Chains A and B, each alone.
Chain A
């Protein structure tokens, strides 16, 4: 990449992180207005992970995600309006309003769902990768999950199976140090999660998840190894969620000082400062970025507001397929 392209790429990384941040801020506002209901989990603070990791994927790779997946969905290329309409429960939403915030699906980008069973997505990623291996396709199945999943049996079964069969799975552990309200140190005998993963004989490393360039670089290396037939790879991406676990969380389990410490490492603030210092970003560029993002989000909200409800007569559609197997 030449310098100009490199600068543009870095601005693009910042833009994507900002896009997630503003989308989440708007989502919180809409939640308090009761436009969005159910459980909603915000990604504020963790933006560098989604933006950095998903750069490394190709269009025909697969993504398996969690219930905290708005950021993943946006970076993966699902239109913001389809995500917003989904959270409104509209049939124009990417899952026709059947899934809501926790279950964003999009076949076009091979986004195989926000899974709201902690650890439940890992075996799916293993199977997607097995299908690719059996069919001789050099695709990667990326699986995002949190530190909480590492305590689940499915984590251990899946890493073992993927390593045993040398499957092209990219395990991306978003370690935000809390499984809802349970601090990592209160749940894990070995809180260095990459060490736990490494015991399954696969490549495993820890990455500063607040540094988007570090995340991108590590994920590109890992994805290349996976795509080249080297078997699965595990990245522990250390990050922090600045917002509550969900919209019902009073955050009694963590100190305000700890949150403030992490906020000083805000991935967007840090990266913006870095780009300014490098002379790659100025006020006008940032203002233009913010304006474009605001317009995109406003359009997404308008789209969701103007959306329609799926007819109740369609309630039982897609319990089973409507046609024969493809």
Chain B
């Protein structure tokens, strides 16, 4: 099988390109997606290829262009709306929650919203407190949405088409630190399943449950733990709503220990939800309390040493996992 060398950024671009070619109802809309080529250069070159009708630059009006995406979806289109960062998406939260997530149920099943919203999330680039947060856990709180977090090249390439085939709104969170991730994909890579979590590294001693930008750190932690004789299993959630309980619980039942690595703030976090589900469904399987590695509960600081101190790190994951397995954390 032939393969291509690519990056996370290029894989998303290729997914957008494929969607635009396959379905005339698809168009991309957002701030600087056209002439600028995308704030993170994801859509670079697409304007030349598809023209301004389908690669549509918007004014800085998050609420209006997200709402327009919802309206266009109601009108039979398949919009891909790009929001620069999750912090900016709060300007469109009314549209996402009160309309996109709500219209189908509130209308008694009459008006579904086949819309895809992509946005960057996460810290680590010294962009300070208004560009660096991980708020996908908030969106995962909302019934009516599907929330995805591609962490691999395969998912960056394959989740978009599956999301576009979904009859309901799908949010895709792209961690800003992943865009330069490089590797190979099969030349014929395409749509992937978006319902299930994946075991990225099998192991017997402890389940490290994570997603998105924390996956590389967690895999690094698992590699280093192996050197100390601790065999960690790494679960990539991929879908944050709905959560794939079966994969999580099967892993925990086998390893009897769980650490959740989540770049969101700890209080009221996605990690808290997963922890509760493990407690509800696998309490008697556990050999140790469920542990969490989350971001410090501060607005993300600019200075590198402070930002790194605020974010989940492989060292922390190792210390916490070691503590669960050996009881000496």
Contacts and interface: CB of A to CB of B under 8 A. Distances in A.
B104 to A, nearest CB: 5
Interface stretch (B70-78, B252-260, B311-319): B70-78
A131 interface: yes
Nearest to A96: B108
Contact of B144 (A62, A107, A319): A319
A125 B75 CA distance: 10
A126 B106 contact: no
A324 B68 CA distance: 23
Interface stretch (A32-40, A44-52, A154-162, A183-191): A154-162
Contact of A319 (B66, B73, B105): B105
A123 B105 contact: no
B130 interface: no
A318 B111 CA distance: 10
Contact of A127 (B68, B105, B112): B68
B143 interface: yes
Q: Is the interface of A mostly helix, strand, loop or mixed?
A: mixed
Contacts of A112: 74, 111
A320 B64 CA distance: 24
A125 B104 contact: no
A127 B94 contact: no
B327 interface: no
A124 interface: yes
B19 to A, nearest CB: 13
Nearest to B78: A325
Given A127-B67, A129-B71, A98 B105 contact: yes
A105 B167 CA distance: 19
B2 interface: no
A66 to B, nearest CB: 13
B71 A130 contact: yes
B70 A124 contact: yes
B67 A103 contact: no
A108 to B, nearest CB: 9
Interface string A209-239: 0000000000000000000000000000000
Interface residues of B, number: 43
A161 B106 contact: no
Given A120-B94, A123-B95, A131-B77, A161 B104 contact: no
A317 B109 contact: yes
B72 A161 contact: no
A325 B64 contact: no
A124 B72 CA distance: 8
B63 A154 contact: yes
Interface string A104-126: 01110000110101001011111
Given A120-B99, A321-B167, A321-B168, A105 B75 contact: no
Contacts of A132: 75
A58 to B, nearest CB: 15
B59 A320 contact: no
A103 B53 contact: no
B111 A98 contact: no
Contacts of B53: 134
A154 to B, nearest CB: 5
Nearest to B91: A153
A307 interface: no
A98 B107 contact: yes
A149 to B, nearest CB: 12
Nearest to B60: A157
Interface string A144-180: 0000000001100110110010000000000000000
A120 B107 contact: no
Contacts of B166: 325
A279 interface: no
Nearest to A133: B53
A317 B108 CA distance: 8
Interface of A: 62, 64, 91, 93-99, 103, 105-107, 112-113, 115, 117, 120, 122-132, 134-135, 141, 153-154, 157-158, 160-161, 164, 317-326
For the complex of A and B, 7 pairs with smallest distance between CB atoms: A127-B71, A123-B67, A131-B75, A96-B108, A157-B64, A157-B61, A105-B107
